[in-house]
Each structure stands twice: as C-alpha cells, then as structure tokens.
Structure 1
Amino acid sequence: MMKPLPYLLLRLLAGMSLFGHGLVRMPKLMEFSNWMTAQFAQSMLPQILVKPFSYILPFAELLTGFLLLIGLFTKQAVVAGAIIMMVLIFGSAMLEQWDAIPSQLIHGAILVCLLQYIASNHYSIDYKYNL
C-alpha cells in the first residue's frame, strides 16, 4: 500500500496535467479542432472520426483532470484518463510523432499506479463520503 500523502500528490499531478490541457483548449476550441484535423489530414484516420474527437478531447481532459483534483469518482477518472492516453498514443503513432509517446506513456503509467494503489486515496471526496 502506498502512503496517503504520496498518493494524493501523484493524483494531483496527474489531475493538474489533464485539467490544464483541457482548460487551455476550451477558449480556443475551434482553433484546436482545426489544428488537430489538419494534423491528421494525411493520416489513415478518417476525418469523420478526427473532427468529433477534436471537440471531445478537451472536455474529456478537463473533466477527468477536475475529478482527479477533487478526488471524486477517482477510480472512474483514472480509468478514463488511461483510455484518453491510449487514444492519444494511437493518434501519435498514426502521425509517426514518436517524440510525443514517452510523455503519454508516463501519464499512463502514473494513472496505472493510481489505480493499483486506489486504497491509498484517503485525501479525497471518495474516501470522506465513502463513495
């Protein structure tokens, strides 16, 4: 079992990263979407998938990060974050952006650690209210 304070700090680090990614994209959502669809224009992914994803991603990052920051639905937020990382890794591979994958893998590994030691999630709304 991990001690509660290191768990909290790890959860806050992952949460802040996801929350920050989503937050900065919200005011420029259309520009972000246009940038992402342009990035994938020459990839094997169809635009019909890329365009909706480009609008969903910032909301998913923002919500997942927020839930991790406050410690609400932590297990579900960790799993959602890991799924987001898997999709981002797949996208990076489709673009052959190999330099982005280590960062995404690190995020994913942190999220897996959070899931592994979820019993240490003492400083959270989950724990306080027995959710």
Structure 2
Amino acid sequence: MNNHREIAYALLRVTMGVVFLFYGVGKFMGGVGNFAGGMNQRFSGKLPSALVTPFAYALPFAEVILGALLVVGLFNTIALVLVGLELLALTFGTVMLGDPPTVAHNAQYALINFVLLWLADYNGYSIDRLRRGKPTVSSP
C-alpha cells in the first residue's frame, strides 16, 4: 500500500491543529478576560469595542475547539473552513493595526489551510474516515 500522501496530510493537519489548540489554551491560561482587555487596548481607536470584545471572548474557544477537531480529524472540512474565516478575521485585524510581520505570518497559516482544504481527499488518518467507513485513497 502506498499511503505516503495520507501520512503527509495527517502530519500537516495535526500540526495545524496543535498550533491552534495551544494558541487557544494559552489564552485561557492567561485569562480570557485579560486577553479580551488586551485586544480592546490594541484596537482602541481602530475598531469599535462592540466588535472587538465579542471576537476576543470567542477566539480562545474557537481556537481550542477547531484545533482539537483538526488534531483528531473530525468534521475536517467544516473545521478548515472555519479556520479560514478565523484567519481572515485575524488578518483583517492585523492589517488595521499596521503589523506587516503578523499579516505575513497569518498569510502562511492561510496557505497551509488552503493546502489542507485542497487535498482533503487524502484525509485518510482521521475520525471522519472511520465514521464514513471509506477506504483510504489509492496513491499512484
């Protein structure tokens, strides 16, 4: 069996999931309220607090949940679409802050997310595949 593409996909998917999972866990460890307060300070005068505050409170939960889903490969396509939307929102914010290095960093994550969505047929090592009972993709 030639499954190197599925192994490569799983490694990239799990790595992306771990990054998001632990970014979210870090926000919980520092306190979600503290994180939200810091976000409000950073965006003061750039975006209204009415937009920043709910996003800042939701972000740690989204990162932990989406990261965990990617790690185990559950609801993979939905999780990747939501990660893409999260990255879009984060990139918008960093553009508003005038932070080119972070914009570039987010663009790299967005590219990885694109690759994972594009190659989702190789998501063989996942709970999704087990739930559907589908055989793994045959590689040439």
Query: Residue in 2 aligned with 1:119?
Result: 121
1:13 aligns with 2:15: yes
Structure 2 residues without counterparts, runs of 5 or longer: 134-140
TM-score (norm 2): 0.89
Structure 1 residues without counterparts, runs of 5 or longer: none
Distance 1:108 1:21 in 2: 16
Number of equivalences: 129
- Given candidates 35, 47, 58, the residue that maps to 1:56 is 58
Distance 2:105 2:11 in 1: 18
TM-score (norm 1): 0.95
Q: Which runs of 4+ in 1 moved over 2 A?
A: none
Percent identity over the alignment is 33
After TM superposition, give the deviation of residue 36 of structure 1 in Å: 0.4
Query: Residue in 1 aligned with 2:71?
Result: 69
Question: Aligned partner of 1:127: which letter?
Answer: R
Superposed CA RMSD: 1.2
Distance 2:45 2:39 in 1: 11
Greater Rg, structure 1 or structure 2?
A: 2
After TM superposition, give the deviation of residue 42 of structure 1 in Å: 2.1
